[in-house]
Amino acid sequence: MIGLMSARMIALPRRTPIGQAALEACDLSVELGGRTILDHVDAVVRAGEVLALVGPNGAGKSTLLGALSGDIPSTGVVRLDGRELGEWPLGEQARARAVLTQNNSLAFPFTVLEVIEMGRAPWRRTPREAEDEAAVAEAMARTETSTFSARIFPSLSGGESARVSLARVLAQRTGVLLLDEPTAALDIRHQEEVLGIARERAQSGDAVVIVLHDLNLAAAYADRIALLEHGTVTAAGAPSDVLTAERLSRVYRYPVDVIEHPRTRQPLVLPRRGAGSSLNSREESA
């Protein structure tokens, strides 16, 4: 009886209707150590879409993700499902959005299964606790982590632990997913799998923000791309509008060509190699 009453008192998040802003940043700035890391950034991800954050090392992608999740203090406004982050009790936030950070070390030797089960903690004593087993099993199947569920997390390879950390976040079954470089340590098949999962979640009405270095993954799987440079969003929109050779060569300070994929028509970004690349030009002029 008491369990039933407390279950009733815990607010379950509503799902943001497809097409509406699930997570929105307005005029976001972050200063750390006396430096401006994010400079008046606007960003939005709608329910039903994948937004990719790209940009050179140090551009501010992780900081933006951290500010969107409320983990990094910022000025400006972040709204989760239309409500300012500050108005969300932390427990409710954890049932509305899940965050995969870039650094997922764990101090204690938990098993893989235990790590993934941690994703279910926000749902304890709610009616959706009943989904725990199914959510964990689905997350493990989707990330191909079931075969090593009894292993100790710190003993895993970089790619294996990245997939377990992703499984934990997937098991949380939130309407908003924030993923910081989930593919960085993965082989080509697992990279495609992860982006496939992101697309599936968007297809089912979730909002997904994903930091990626591979511009071709972003082009193939994201609905929209935000390109960051020195703490600002220098371009945002459809992949074919954002990923132009001139812009990428300037922002990444390395010459690239952008061609159209012969079958999918998506942009393909190719760093210039051999004759014509900046490295060779430098050698030639030396």
At closest approach, how far in Å is the CB of 199 from ligand ADP?
A: 23
Which single residue is written with the structure tokens 């972050």? 30
Which is closer to ligand ADP, CB of 101 or CB of 111?
A: 101
Hey, how many other C-beta atoms are within 10 angstroms of the C-beta on 158? 10
Where along the sequence are the contacts to ligand ADP (CB under 6 A)? Answer: 32-33, 35, 37, 55, 57-63
Q: Which of 16, 58, 22, 65 is nearest to 41 (CA)?
A: 65
270 binds, among ligand ADP, Mg ion, none (CB under 5 to 8 A by kind): none
Instruction: Report the distance separating Cα 99 and Cα 201, nearest Å.
Output: 14
Give the integer Cα–Cα distance in Å for 221 and 209.
12
Residues 38-67 that bind Mg ion (CB under 5 A): 61-62
Q: Pick one of Mg ion, ligand ADP, none as the site partner of residue 73 (Cβ within 5 to 8 A by kind).
A: none
We find the least distance from the C-beta atom of residue 55 to ligand ADP, in angstroms, to be: 6
> Closest approach of Cβ 270 to ligand ADP, in Å?
22
Q: How near is the Cβ of 158 to ligand ADP at its closest, in Å?
A: 18
Longest dimension (CA), the chain: 80
Please state, in angstroms and rounded to a whole number, the distance separating the CA atoms of residues 176 and 208. Answer: 6
Is position 183 an interface residue for Mg ion (rule: CB under 5 A)?
Answer: no
In whole angstroms, give the CA distance from residue 157 to residue 265.
Answer: 36
- Length of the chain (residues): 286
Pick the closer one to Mg ion by CB: 33 or 274: 33
Q: What is the binding site for Mg ion (CB under 5 A)?
A: 61-62
